[in-house]
Amino acid sequence: MKNNKIIQERLNLINNLKARRIIVSENVYNAMLNVPRHLFLPELNLDKAYIDTPQQIGKGQTISAPHMNAMMCEYLEIKPGDKILEIGTGSGYHAAILAELTGKDGIVYTIERIPELAIKAKEKLKELSYSNVEVIINDGTKGLESKAPFDKILVTAASPKIPKSLLVQLNPNNGILCIPVGKRHWDQDLIVINRIKGKYIKKKVCKVIFVPLIGENGFEK
């Protein structure tokens, strides 16, 4: 694809998300405009990079549809300087958006259990100069205790329950966790949890479909 065509397609997609009121804040609009989604996709799917659908990224995993990336970012209310934990690096695309949102004073830790995906994502993020993202190969259901507490935690795979390990690693002062919860491949809800003065306030926001979160506090392999 020619560069001008790519830029125009990205602009059309982001403007469409804004028109549908999925993107509502300027920072999410700008972050999604800045990240070249096509560079995070396998060659085979390049021409579908700016269609609002999930895509295969290999190893049986997917990159979420852009409207889901946008929606989760809006719920997380990311501010410059936030310390963010993402579970499920996948292609690295969403981590790049988070990095744009938190900026050079913030940091994004992103955990992926499949080493091949993590290595590929790490290389891509480095190539695109995202120096505020650290990719870790591990079981993300345990969180990342050594770097806690986190201002924001994003889980991009569906869990059978909300892992306690993540709740306790959330900043007690206005920390936000966004996580899909439900059955292994269906009947899942996107849950947003605000931790205010140490108390957890939970709301179900919509039905979703994500690949399973596999690990000690998630689904079995």
| Binding residues vs ligand SAM (CB under 6 A) | 61-64, 87-88, 90-91, 93-94, 111-114, 117, 139-141, 156-157, 210-211, 213-215, 218
Is 64 considered catalytic here? yes
Is 140 in contact with 88 (CB distance < 8 Å)?
yes
Q: How far is the CB of 138 from ligand SAM (least distance, A)?
A: 7
Q: Are strands 61-63 and 55-58 parallel, antiparallel or unpaired?
A: antiparallel
Q: Please give the sequence-ordered ranges of beta strands (E in DSSP) within the chain, or none if there are none.
A: 55-58, 61-63, 83-87, 107-112, 133-137, 152-155, 175-182, 188-196, 199-208
**Of 174 and 214, which CB lies nearer to ligand SAM in the complex structure?**
214
Terminus-to-terminus CA distance in the chain, angstroms? 38
Which whole-number Å values give the CA distances from 183 to 63, 93, 169, 207, 211, in the listed order?
Answer: 19, 25, 24, 12, 10
**Of 27 and 141, which CB lies nearer to ligand SAM in the complex structure?**
141
**Of 175 and 218, which CB lies nearer to ligand SAM in the complex structure?**
218
Is 202 in contact with 191 (CB distance < 8 Å)?
yes
Which residue among 25, 64, 131, 165 is the active-site one?
Answer: 64
Q: How far is the CB of 86 from ligand SAM (least distance, A)?
A: 7
Q: How far is the CB of 197 from ligand SAM (least distance, A)?
A: 30
**Of 121 and 170, which CB lies nearer to ligand SAM in the complex structure?**
121
Q: How far is the CB of 84 from ligand SAM (least distance, A)?
A: 12
- Enter the DSSP assignment of 211: -
Task: Write down the H helix ranges in 150-199.
Answer: 164-167
Catalytic residues: 64
